[in-house]
Amino acid sequence: MSTQVAGAATAKRPRLDDAIVTIFAFLGFGGALFLPLKYHIPPIMLSFLAATGIAALTYRFLGGVEGTSITVGALKATGALAALIGLALIMNHYLIEQAQLELLSEDDVLGSWKWVYARGATAGHLYFTRDGRGKLTFSGDQGIWKSENGPIIPLYMVTNGTATLKNRNLLQLEADVDDQLNHAKMHWKADAPLEMRPAFRGSMRATRPDGSVITDTWGIFFYKLRAGED
């Protein structure tokens, strides 16, 4: 009788272990995959979620990770816990790099961006803010060399710009542009949403104040300035 009871208890333990491992694996992988779709999750949290799923499956099918250890200051971890921390730190490194190719919200657009212009002009700037209704707006300026060694004179002044962020890395732009070199006014609108990889780039189609379309397109390329950059 006692042998049967012991056998039944032993049979229940693996089932309970399997259920716990399955829950941790599901929460780890599921959280890492689906939470970023709706919430702003820091890379380190995603790394630990994914690492938890991997460590749970490793524990279930390989029986743990023997001989593994990691030391952080006075803290030393071994086995599955060391593998979890190690995996999380490795994945966090690559997630941080990838996060630079994607904006998490419109708030990441706010601030100064450096505008690179290919037709002999100097680097300009675009400035993104929000209007009273919370919509993204922007203005900007671009200069050009008067001569090879001469001073920089104004080329474009951008005003009344509106922007819409789509799918975290696509930006739709539209703005009024004053061509101060040729004394002409235009309205620029992106042919298609500008894609961030990692800078935004695309082309703008221009129309005159009377609505007629200018056949040329203007290539545009700009990237976010870090603190202290000009």
121: domain CATH number is 2.40.128
The domain total for the chain is 2
Same domain, 129 and 191: yes
In this structure, the answer to whether residues 26 and 74 fall within a common structural domain is: yes
Which of residues 128 and 85 earns the better pLDDT score?
128
Q: 229 lies in a domain?
A: no
β-pair partners for 220: 202
Residue 163 and residue 138 in contact, taking contact as beta carbons nearer than 8 Å: yes
- pLDDT at residue 191, as a whole number: 87
pLDDT in the model for residue 52? 77
Choose the final residue of a domain: 69, 99, 129.
99
Q: Which of 79, 57, 38, 42 is nearest to 168 (CA)?
A: 38
Confidence grade of residue 159 (pLDDT, cut at 50, 70, 90): very high
Q: Could you list the residue range(s) of the whole structural domain that residue 69 is in?
A: 2-99
pTM of the model: 0.58
Residue 18 inside a domain? The answer is: yes
On whether both 218 and 119 belong to a single domain, the answer is yes
Residue 6 has pLDDT above 50, yes or no: no
| Residue 230 falls inside a structural domain | no
For residues 162 and 122, membership in a common domain is answered with yes
Query: Do 91 and 116 fall into the same domain?
Result: no
User: Same domain for 140 and 175?
Assistant: yes
* AA identity, residue 125: H
The mean-pLDDT minimum among 20-29, 68-77, 144-153, 194-203 falls in: 68-77
DSSP string, 56-94: HHHHHHH---TT-EEEETTEEEEHHHHHHHHHHHHHHHH
Q: Which residue has the higher pLDDT, 12 or 49?
A: 49
Q: How confident is the model at residue 119 (pLDDT cuts 50, 70, 90)?
A: low
Residue 197 and residue 113 share a domain = yes
What pLDDT was estimated at residue 100?
Answer: 52
Clarify whether residues 114 and 220 are in a common domain.
Answer: yes
**pLDDT for residue 189:** 92
pLDDT recorded at residue 140: 94
pLDDT value at residue 32: 75
Q: Which range is most confident: 16-25, 65-74, 171-180?
A: 171-180
Would 10 be classed as within a structural domain?
yes
pLDDT, the chain, mean:
75
- My answer on whether 78 and 130 are in the same domain is no
Residue 95 phi/psi, 5° resolution? Answer: -65, -35
Q: What is the largest CA-CA distance in the chain?
A: 101
Pick the last residue of a domain from 74, 99, 124. Answer: 99
Domain match, 167 and 219 both: yes
The CA-atom distances, in angstroms, between 116 and each of 103, 150, 188, 223 are 20, 19, 16, 8
Confidence band (pLDDT; 50, 70, 90) for 224? confident
Q: How far apart are the first and last CA of the chain?
A: 82
Residues 58 and 145 in one domain: no
Looking at 68, 99, 130, which one is the last position of a domain?
99
In-domain check, residue 13: yes
